Amino acid sequence: MTLAISPLRPDETEAAVALWEACGLTRPWNDPRADIALALSRPSSTILAGRIDSKLVATAMTGSDGHRGWVYYLAVDPTAQRKGYGAAMMHAAAAWLREIGAPKLHVMIRSENLGVAAFYARLGYVKSDTITMATRL
């Protein structure tokens, strides 16, 4: 079935949060609803939604920090995985970033989720020799 991809609507927030929970992407220190509201409120970011028959089955939050593009919350419903939807979401995110002039796309993989690197490698992504560090603002 063809995945229809367009920006997430605010009324799909709860469906997106449920999808992220099902995919193990939520963490107690992040507020997914606030993350959705922020990403949808700026011209430099968006959340792409993939739907089958109007039902949300995939997401990819994407945006540019002014230098690089990033993808977060890449999720495909566990019952719909391995059908090419994850790849389709990453292609759509790359196209969105190209459109706003971002020259490069990075993804961060949590250390407990390193197995997913094989998915990105399948799409042609190569390991970047960096570590990320962070502070709360």
- Nearest distance from residue 92's CB to ligand COA, in Å? 12
Tokens matching residue 107: 């993804």
What is the number of the residue whose Cβ is closest to ligand COA?
86
SS3 track for 50-99: EEECCEEEEEEEEEECCCCEEEEEEEECHHHCCCCHHHHHHHHHHHHHHH
Nearest to ligand COA of 101, 124 (CB atom): 124
- Nearest distance from residue 104's CB to ligand COA, in Å? 17
Write the single-letter amino acid at 126: V
Nearest to ligand COA of 51, 83 (CB atom): 83
Q: Phi-psi region for residue 124, left (φ > 0), alpha (ψ -120 to 50) or beta?
A: left
Nearest to ligand COA of 54, 79 (CB atom): 79
**61, 45 in Cβ contact below 8 A?**
yes
- Nearest distance from residue 68's CB to ligand COA, in Å? 16
- Catalog residues that contact ligand COA under the rule CB under 6 A: 23, 25, 74-76, 81-87, 107, 109, 113, 115-116, 118-119, 122
